[in-house]
Amino acid sequence: MKIAVLVYGSPTASSAAATAYRYARAAIGLGHQITRVFFYGEGVHGASALAAPPQDEVNWGQRWQQLAQEHEIEMIVCIAAALRRGVLNQQEAQRHGKSAANLAAGFELSGLGQLADAALNSDRLITFGG
Amino acid sequence: MSTPDKQLLVVVGAGPHNATRARDALDLVLTSAAFEIGVGILFRDDAVYQLLPQQQADAIDAKSLAANLQALPLYDVEQLYAPRSALEARGLDPDNLLLPVQLLDDNATAALLHSYGQILSF
CATH of the domain at B96: 3.40.1260.10
Best mutation site among A3, A10, A38, A40 for testing chain B: the one with the most B CBs within 10 Å?
Answer: A40
* Neighbouring C-alpha atoms within 13 Å toward the C-beta of B116: 23
Q: Are A17 and A55 in contact (CB under 8 A)?
A: no
A73-105 per-position pLDDT tens digit: 999 999 999 999 999 999 999 999 999 999 999
Residue ranges, chain B, pLDDT below 50: none
Q: What is the pLDDT of residue B2?
A: 72
Residue B99 C-alpha, separation from nearest chain A C-alpha, in angstroms: 24
**pLDDT given for residue B28 in this prediction:** 95
> Beta strands A107-110 and B102-104: pairing type?
unpaired
d(CA B14, CA B11): 9
- Give me the pLDDT at residue B61, please: 92
Partner-chain contact A41 B21, CB within 8 Å: yes
Side-chain half-sphere CA neighbours of B19 within 13 A = 13
List of residues 6+ apart from B73 with CB closer than 8 A = none
Q: Note the pLDDT of residue A130.
A: 67
User: Using a CB-CB distance cutoff of 8 angstroms, which residues of chain A are in contact with residue B117?
Assistant: none
Range(s) of the domain holding residue B9: 4-121
Q: Is residue B69 within 8 angstroms of chain A, CB to CB?
A: no
Number of domains in chain B: 1
Catalytic residue, chosen from A44, A77, A78, A104, is A78
Contact A41, A81 (CB under 8 A): yes
CB contact A13 to B (< 8 Å): no
d(Cα A29, Cα B30) in Å, to the nearest integer?
35
Strand ordering across the sheet containing B39-43: B102-104, B79-83, B39-43, B8-12, B118-121
pLDDT at B19: 80
Domains in chain A and their CATH numbers?
A: 2-128 (3.40.1260.10)
Alpha carbons within 13 A on the beta-carbon side of B74: 7
Q: Cα Rg for chain B, rounded, in angstroms?
A: 14
**What is the least distance, in Å, from the CA of A31 to any CA of chain B?**
22
Low-confidence ranges of chain A (pLDDT < 70): 130
